[in-house]
């Protein structure tokens, strides 16, 4: 009884504190440069949270016995796709390059002999994962493009070959090597794994990689219903998909379409994006969950998914010049920026934290900060800062 009361009081404390942060941000209007500095500060703390060079999955406001300091163990998948983001800030002298190298070399150290990476956090009992491996390729390959160290290219190609080898009978999807959160689900967001593979395929003229992207893109296209609902974006523990996985799918399809000059892929992903944009209210709030008829579900906003949608809006704006997408991205940015913790060291893992959900007791990672929420918020600030 006492323990339950203690947890309740902790939740109430942080819930109220989140609104104090919102109020302070509304009054003080922290500029984008300071927001970036604080977000990066959080990543640096997250990298130091454990004994290796990997980045912690995130921070729980409710400290569990297994994670008594609040920090989860390292998460290879998101550590991987954080690298391209952090590299951009390293080039601007805003993130230490030696940290980039330590992260990348840690990822090489934990790569399996067959080229794959395990799913989940480093302490989980997950098997190899198609999706997680694909996200790590993004980080490893970005570093190769920057410093031309061949060990990163060799690692990336080995991982690409493993993903290609395990495709389900050339049908554009995978029936195995899914994390527990995806078991028994025919997922479509593996398209977000293939966008980096086709980029590499184009660079080295590997037509096996390019043809894989065509097959996965076609498979994904066929999962989009006439009302533009995307099938196969659900996670195992909830009936409805979150905007986080919806964004993975449509951005992956858009990226693959651009890499292949496939108008159908680009057009369909943009049409789905248009449906989502119309769900953003005037304050920038976007529901984190929708049913199959695009009705909002009252589970709060997934701030990660909102940031991803904002990033895709900026990509489409820069490709088309259509102000509709810039306006949508700015609304999302303004909404998210008001929720960054710029003040309190004891909130969400420290300065620069951004909750997974709003309100913070929402469905998606309630009372937690995840490293991928920070990643996509940083990406959005890079894309939008010249338009603020």
Instruction: State pLDDT tens for residues 90-109.
Output: 999 999 999 999 999 999 99
Give the pLDDT of residue 113: 98
pLDDT of residue 6: 80
Distance of alpha carbon 271 from alpha carbon 41, whole angstroms = 36
pLDDT in tens, 342-371: 999 999 999 999 999 999 999 999 999 999
**CA 323: distance to chain centroid?**
25
Q: What is the mean pLDDT of residues 288-307?
A: 95
As a whole number of angstroms, the distance between CA 240 and CA 199 comes to: 31
**Is residue 103 within 8 Å of 83, Cβ to Cβ?**
yes
Q: How confident is the model at residue 66 (pLDDT cuts 50, 70, 90)?
A: low
pLDDT of residue 85: 98
- Rounded to whole angstroms, the Cα distance separating 139 from 132 reads 11
Q: Is the pLDDT of residue 298 over 70?
A: yes
Q: At what angle do helices 371-384 and 303-320 cross, to 10 degrees?
A: 30
Task: Taking each helix axis as running N to C, give the angle between helix 371-384 and helix 323-337, from 0 to 180 degrees, rounded to the nearest 10.
Answer: 130
Q: What is the pLDDT of residue 44?
A: 97
Instruction: For residue range 26-47, list pLDDT tens digits in order.
Output: 999 999 999 999 999 999 999 9
Would you say the C-alpha torsion 175, 181, 186, 188 has a positive or negative sign? negative
pLDDT of residue 33: 97
In this structure, the number of other CB atoms found within 10 A of the CB of residue 357 comes to 23
Three-state DSSP class for residue 358 = strand
Q: Is the pLDDT of residue 183 over 70?
A: no
H-only helix segments in the chain: 2-28, 32-48, 76-91, 97-110, 130-147, 150-165, 191-204, 207-221, 243-260, 263-277, 303-320, 323-337, 371-384
Indicate the average pLDDT of the chain.
95
- Output the pLDDT for position 64: 66
pLDDT at 41: 97
Compute the half-sphere exposure of residue 178: CA atoms within 13 Å on the CB side of its CA.
Answer: 19
Q: Tens of pLDDT along 368-378?
A: 999 999 999 99
Residue 82 pLDDT class (50, 70, 90 cuts): very high
Q: What is the pLDDT of residue 223?
A: 96
């Amino acid at each position: 009884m006492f323990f339950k009361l203690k947890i309740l009081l902790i939740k109430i404390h942080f819930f109220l504190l989140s609104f104090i942060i919102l109020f302070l941000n509304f009054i003080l209007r922290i500029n984008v440069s300071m927001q970036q500095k604080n977000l990066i500060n959080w990543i640096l703390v997250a990298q130091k949270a454990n004994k290796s060079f990997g980045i912690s999955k995130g921070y729980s406001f409710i400290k569990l016995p297994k994670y008594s300091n609040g920090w989860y163990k390292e998460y290879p998948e998101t550590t991987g796709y954080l690298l391209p983001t952090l590299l951009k800030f390293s080039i601007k002298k805003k993130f230490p390059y030696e940290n980039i190298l330590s992260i990348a070399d840690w990822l090489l150290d934990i790569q399996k002999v067959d080229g794959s990476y395990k799913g989940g956090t480093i302490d989980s009992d997950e098997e190899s994962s198609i999706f997680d491996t694909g996200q790590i390729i993004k980080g490893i390959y970005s570093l190769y493009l920057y410093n031309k160290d061949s060990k990163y290219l060799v690692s990336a190609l080995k991982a690409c070959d493993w993903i290609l080898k395990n495709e389900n009978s050339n049908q554009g999807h995978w029936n195995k090597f899914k994390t527990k959160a995806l078991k028994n689900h025919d997922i479509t967001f593996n398209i977000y794994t293939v966008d980096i593979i086709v980029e590499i395929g184009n660079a080295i003229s590997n037509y096996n990689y390019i043809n894989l992207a065509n097959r996965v893109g076609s498979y994904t296209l066929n999962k989009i219903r006439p009302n533009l609902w995307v099938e196969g974006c659900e996670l195992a523990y909830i009936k409805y998909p979150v905007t986080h996985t919806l964004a993975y799918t449509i951005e992956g399809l858009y990226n693959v379409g651009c890499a292949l000059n496939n108008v159908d892929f680009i057009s369909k992903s943009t049409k789905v994006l248009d449906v989502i944009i119309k769900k953003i209210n005037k304050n920038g709030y976007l529901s984190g969950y929708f049913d199959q008829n695009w009705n909002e579900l009252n589970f709060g906003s997934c701030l990660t998914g909102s940031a991803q949608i904002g990033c895709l809006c900026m990509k489409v704006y820069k490709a088309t010049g259509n102000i509709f997408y810039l306006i949508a991205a700015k609304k999302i940015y303004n909404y998210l920026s008001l929720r960054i913790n710029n003040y309190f060291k004891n909130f969400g893992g420290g300065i620069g934290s951004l909750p997974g959900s709003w309100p913070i007791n929402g469905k998606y990672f309630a009372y937690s900060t995840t490293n991928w929420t920070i990643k996509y918020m940083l990406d959005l600030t890079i894309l939008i800062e010249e338009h603020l």
